[in-house]
Structure 1
Amino acid sequence: MRSFFLSLTILLVGGLAHGQLVFPFEIDAPTDYTPNRVVMPGSPLSLQVLFIGGTDMVQTTATYGNEAGQTHAKEWHDFIGFTPDETGESLGWVSVNHESIYRDDRIGDGGGMSVFRVERDEISGDLNILDQTLDDGRSGKFFNVDFVNTVGETGMNCGGISSVVDGRIWTAEEWFRGNNASINNGVFSNDNAFGSGPYGIGYNEEGGSNTANQGVRDLRPFEVDAPEFPFIHGDTIAKYENFNWMVEIDPKQAKAIRKQYNFGRQGFEGGTVSPDNKYIYLGVDATPGFWMRFVADTPGDFTQGDIQVYKHDADEKWITIEQTAEKMLDFGTQAVAAGATMYNRNEWVAIDATTGIVYWTETGRDKPGGNWSDEAANGAVYAPHHLARAAAQGVEGPGSSDYWDYYGRVLQYDPATEEVSVVIEGGPYFEESPTQADYPTKHLSNPDGLNVMTIDGEQFLVIMEDLNGETFGRMPLENNSGGTGIRHRMCEMYLLQITDRDTVASVDELVRLTVTPVGAEITGAIATPDGKSLLVNSQHPSGANPFPFNHSLTFAIHGFDNLTVTGLQAPDINGDRDRFAIYPNPTTQIVYFNTNQDVALYNANGQRLRVYRNVDSIDVANLPSGMYYLRSEDGQVVELVKQ
């Protein structure tokens, strides 16, 4: 259940008060008898804010004729990469994408990326950010990645790749541009850019975009300097064509290495490297989005090899696209001509290194029909699960204007069989969004960010939402802003156990881990190499949130080394159904009931705080420590002590 609560806390979920006559507004604190007492210990998880966009200062290189110096970090944190420190002198380097797009004389126009180095504090268990001095002379804690002086600017640094083999990092330029005018995302007046596009510096207090100072100023043709790619090296291309590539960086020196012109020009979101260092699997955030991979001639050398698209209905399911400048610059057309399988917004990609199975999020689009029907007419094919969904909906096919895909899903690819299948479908479906009182305990909407994490020796998907909208039950009815803003949206992060899974998961199997502040997308989650912490981003929150949760930020959730798989699961309740009994789970901070029912929550003074309707559990993570009373619909009372 999503709430309006603003604070960023572990397992932040609750309901709004809904007065019903069956529950009095006040009860007398029991004095003539002692109710059942249940103690909820504190969660073993804790939170630490690491990096605040627009507040923390990044060290910059000499850019656009300006001397090296420092300035505030960009915002809209998205992807997080982690590069382990093989020397053992620290834990490693953290790389953070900035999806915002605006002009900056020191950082560079377009998107951006920041890096910093961390160590584990042996006493507190928190992460310490270390001072560094780079080879180019920059010194400090946070560093801007230099794209301007290396590969040209980047646009909308969104997802990326963090290699499970050696921590190599790529940033994805999702921001697909069709001409030079679209790069600056506005018009120029007195040498200042003002536009009406969605990629502003941040959200204002009313939830709208700040569209000033957007874009890229230098629109001159770009000469490609990439001798490792002779098919395009030395060519002069339009400036907009130098956007929308995977870009490898060196996180230790905070600079770009190369744009991967051999991967093709696409609206890339995520990717992952296979454990044998031979394959890179790639997600494209588009409708149609194609499932792609690069096959290295030599493991670890991703400058030489084949770029391929997946065609599920072919005997040879991977089709190689010839690497010429013309074809790499217009890769989508080549994929359609090859009859590639079409998906609905492929975004983040992750791999279970213990099995080699690759997972990715298909975020979905409400009515995708008009976005891929032309490609279908020209030879591309729909993914089987979309054909099945269209048949179940009673429409002519996924190209129909009536075909809907409101919630998206998580998919998996098994390299051993070369088959793609559904791991979990989003939902459940609602024609009309329920109110808070009737909203389901769990609802998966538009999965976007994705990773794999080991907890207690078992493998889990970490699934993050980025809502495409607020209707059809993606948010409770009270959170619907009528499409005028994003302030009321709250995105959740879930765990899903995948060890030995051979069936499609249900939403009920998800374990809610955290919720971001109002307005923010939750994204970027990646575990530290020691398995103790999960690094997460809160992107573009509402400006009405209190500091620092009104800024994009990178935070860590610590304590995963103290979790057990059983501690994440709901208890197996086989008690007396006539007696009101509750069963606390300290890890998830959820109180379970022995039967579905209406329940009221009261404070220590007997004042009613909330009413929950037809529930078998409630989340109490956002409650301050103290004593509370839970009252069943037939008047039974249980005392809850939250530590």
Structure 2
Amino acid sequence: MRSLYILSLLILLGASQASAQLVFPFEIDAPADYTPRRVVMPGSPLSLQVLFIGGTDMVQTTATYGNEAGQTHAKEWHDFIGFTPDTDGGSLGWVSVNHESIYRDDRIGDGGGMTTFRVKRDEITGDLVVMDQTLEDGRKGKFFNVDFANTVGETGMNCGGISSVVDGRIWTAEEWFRGDNSSINNGSFSNNNPNGSGPYGIGSTTNQGVRDTADFTVDAPEFPFMDGETIRKYENFNWMVEIDPRQAKAIRKQYNFGRQGFEGGTVSPDNKYIYLGVDDTPAFWVRFVADTPGDFTKGEVQVFKHDGSQKWITISETKANMLDFSAQAIAVGATMFDRIEWVTVDPATGMIYMTETGADTPGSDWRAARAAGAVYAPHHQARAEEQGLTEPDVNDTYRDYYGRVLKYDPTTEEISVQIEGGPFFAVSPTQADYPSKHLSNPDGLNVMTIDDHQFLVICEDLNGETFGRMPFENTSAGAGMGIRHRMCELFLLDLEIEDATTEDLIRITATPLGAEITGAMPTPDGKSLLVNSQHPSGSNPFPFNHSLTFAIHGFDELTVSNLTAPDIEEGDAFNIYPNPTLQEVFLNKVQDIALYNAQGQRLQVYRNVSQIDVSLLPSGIYYLRNGEGQVVELVKQ
């Protein structure tokens, strides 16, 4: 087994998950209802730096809606992070950050949003420095709003996206699918807090989103089937949109990829294919095949059918087909998935990975598509049979609470499960009984090289509070305050591990209360990982009450080692190894154990385990007690 020797330096912020208590390395005042604790991790090379704060940092804007160019506060709900390397050597490159929101803004433009900025590395501190820039349109500053309103029409809820591993080209995804003009006009969505009013005095007023809902005439000469066509305004949403991060402007909406609830995507290392994730149920596995590598304006868009004589079926490029792409996928019997979100590629192997986030009971959403000819992905059919069902849509009882990460092999054209979420709980355990590692609804995804080894970077996004997706104390019922205490975690997974389980995950960090963790973009020098904290609780102290982009530095100092489980003779005596330990402890047999600190306080209970991960514990003396009452002393280095 391979072990990554890493110690997270993170801080407790309020009532958190027992398995993810440590969040950010700053002394902060927790809300009065909570008891804060500070835990200092010895020896970790990792450090954290906040780079970009939504609703606080100022973005430079173009002349929009009759207003002069100027500046205003950045939008919030940070989601996707793209990175475009600087090939000229003047910096590390350009960072692109999506804003998954729809609200009106006279300077930024209505609808969604995106911010770009340029960074270099401080040679002394190792931190990232946001650089001053002057763009071709005359804008000067550090942070720049991407101009969609004056180029391709507004965007809606910029969620995931594509950051090409070939050349750093960036696309932003317009995710939440829109079915009419009133849904983009959006009278109730609040940008800053899903349960409260929006920022800057907007509140929850009517006409909060895209105000101009007049029909839209497409100006896209590279796509003759759409160029000059007049469509309803909402039909100009839900496309992949290419941008130029260096000049902070949109280039084109990819009308030839089809109109879908896009989340993520990735470019193959040969620059010929773009694989696309669609956040929907049913979701379809989609790719675009370029006629000429790197030119994604000409080619074919295809859907995956696992049981077909040919696995990829081309959808003809017409206005009607592209506007109603899902119907075309169903008509050709495409394979159905449950919310495919982010997509990434391992450049070392060419393997494609995607998160299938899952949904509590997706059956009813699949039923009509199944009747019209679409087919279930084999792993869903197998899971349904394990649950005693003939197929996943029977009686709306098929459950997919936790989701998973999937792998697509371009050589064999086969899709397999890389790691399942879970484990399953009918009732959310308390913190004392919560497993040391639990994967709930993976969303953001990337591949990172650490010490010449490839790791998946997996971000959580919780679909709900129930079924053990968080400890009982973190649910609204358990907190007893009527507010969400959700916390999402960030994991690494060694890609050389076969048949990986949640025990193989390596926890890196977690977000402040209420926030989704997303982004997960390594810098090209391998030293830092850029991450977003999206829609945190407004009760968190500044800046953790805002969506923000932060960097975790020090990955180039981590060491990956081969660690094989020791041969401990199984017997009645309670034995552990190694002791002292830095990260993992092996037990002489599978059993239940409890972990206590030197003061005799019980910290954690582990059920049916043969090894445990104690990397997040401070150094010191601890005690392990098994079900027979036997106790051993553990020294944590």
Q: TM-score, normalised by structure 2?
A: 0.87
Deviation of the 1:200 alpha carbon:
3.3
Match of 1:129 in 2: 130
Match of 2:603 in 1: 611
Q: Cα 1:409–1:638, aligned 2, differ >3 Å: closer, same or farther?
A: closer
* SS of the residue 1:101 aligns to: coil
Deviation of the 1:507 alpha carbon:
1.1
* SS of the residue 2:561 aligns to: helix
Match of 1:191 in 2: none
Give the distance between the partners of 2:376 and 2:575, measured in 1 at CA.
53
Alignment of 1:428-447 (within 5 A): 428-447=423-442
On the 8 A contact 1:13/1:619 being kept in 2, the answer is: no
* SS of the residue 2:20 aligns to: coil
Match of 1:27 in 2: none
Alignment of 1:180-259 (within 5 A): 180-186=181-187, 195=188, 197=189, 199-203=190-194, 211-212=204-205, 214-259=208-253
Q: Cα 1:331–1:41, aligned 2, differ >3 Å: closer, same or farther?
A: same
Give the distance between the partners of 1:504 and 1:584, measured in 2 at CA.
29
On the 8 A contact 1:14/1:618 being kept in 2, the answer is: no
* SS of the residue 2:380 aligns to: helix
Alignment of 1:500-515 (within 5 A): 501=497, 503-515=498-510
Work out which of the residue numbers 359, 369, 378 in structure 2 matches 1:365.
359
Match of 2:174 in 1: 173
Deviation of the 1:504 alpha carbon:
2.8
- Whether 1:543 aligns to 2:538 is yes
Q: Cα 1:206–1:295, aligned 2, differ >3 Å: closer, same or farther?
A: closer
Q: Cα 1:141–1:207, aligned 2, differ >3 Å: closer, same or farther?
A: closer
Cα RMSD after superposing both structures: 2.8
On the 8 A contact 1:60/1:106 being kept in 2, the answer is: yes
Letter in 2 for 1:496: L
Match of 1:98 in 2: 99
Match of 2:330 in 1: 336
On the 8 A contact 1:279/1:293 being kept in 2, the answer is: yes
- Whether 1:298 aligns to 2:305 is no
Query: Percent same amino acid at aligned positions?
Result: 67
On the 8 A contact 1:580/1:632 being kept in 2, the answer is: no
Match of 2:73 in 1: 72
Deviation of the 1:429 alpha carbon:
0.9
Work out which of the residue numbers 523, 528, 532 in structure 1 matches 2:527.
532
Letter in 1 for 2:92: L
Indicate the larger mover: 151-160 or 593-602. Answer: 593-602
On the 8 A contact 1:8/1:515 being kept in 2, the answer is: no
Match of 2:412 in 1: 417
Match of 2:62 in 1: 61
On the 8 A contact 1:12/1:515 being kept in 2, the answer is: no
Work out which of the residue numbers 304, 308, 321 in structure 2 matches 1:314.
308
On the 8 A contact 1:8/1:516 being kept in 2, the answer is: no
Deviation of the 1:506 alpha carbon:
1.1
Deviations 1:93-132 (A, max 9, x none): 0000000211111111111000000011111111111000
Match of 2:260 in 1: 266
Deviation of the 1:613 alpha carbon:
2.4
On the 8 A contact 1:424/1:504 being kept in 2, the answer is: yes
Give the distance between the partners of 2:623 and 2:263, measured in 1 at CA.
48
* SS of the residue 1:442 aligns to: coil
* SS of the residue 2:484 aligns to: coil
Match of 2:283 in 1: 289
Give the distance between the partners of 2:433 and 2:291, measured in 1 at CA.
55
Q: Which has the higher contact order (CA 8 A, sep 6+)?
A: 1
Deviations 1:530-560 (A, max 9, x none): 1111111110011111111111111111111
- Whether 1:491 aligns to 2:488 is yes
* SS of the residue 1:290 aligns to: coil
Give the distance between the partners of 1:402 and 1:4, measured in 2 at CA.
39
Deviation of the 1:637 alpha carbon:
5.3
On the 8 A contact 1:522/1:539 being kept in 2, the answer is: yes
Letter in 2 for 1:601: N
Letter in 2 for 1:83: T
Match of 2:320 in 1: 326
Deviations 1:230-286 (A, max 9, x none): 001001100000000000000000000000000000000000000110000000000
Q: TM-score, normalised by structure 1?
A: 0.87
On the 8 A contact 1:8/1:517 being kept in 2, the answer is: no
Give the distance between the partners of 1:124 and 1:575, measured in 2 at CA.
48
* SS of the residue 1:328 aligns to: helix
Q: Cα 1:215–1:585, aligned 2, differ >3 Å: closer, same or farther?
A: farther
Deviations 1:404-446 (A, max 9, x none): 1111111111111111111111111111111111111111111
* SS of the residue 1:566 aligns to: strand
Letter in 1 for 2:622: L
Alignment of 1:567-582 (within 5 A): 572=566, 574=568, 578=574
Letter in 2 for 1:556: A
Task: Specify every segment of 5 or more residues in structure 2 that has no aligned partner in the other structure, as ranges.
Answer: 1-9, 23-39
Q: Cα 1:399–1:505, aligned 2, differ >3 Å: closer, same or farther?
A: same
On the 8 A contact 1:14/1:619 being kept in 2, the answer is: no
* SS of the residue 2:429 aligns to: coil
Give the distance between the partners of 2:472 and 2:580, measured in 1 at CA.
29
Deviation of the 1:465 alpha carbon:
0.6
Give the distance between the partners of 1:137 and 1:123, measured in 2 at CA.
32
Match of 2:467 in 1: 472
Match of 1:598 in 2: 594
Q: Cα 1:547–1:145, aligned 2, differ >3 Å: closer, same or farther?
A: same
Indicate the larger mover: 199-208 or 461-470. Answer: 199-208
* SS of the residue 2:476 aligns to: coil
* SS of the residue 2:365 aligns to: helix
Give the distance between the partners of 1:318 and 1:430, measured in 2 at CA.
37
On the 8 A contact 2:579/2:635 being kept in 1, the answer is: no
Give the distance between the partners of 2:581 and 2:84, measured in 1 at CA.
34
Deviation of the 1:513 alpha carbon:
1.1
Give the distance between the partners of 1:240 and 1:485, measured in 2 at CA.
35
- Whether 1:345 aligns to 2:352 is no
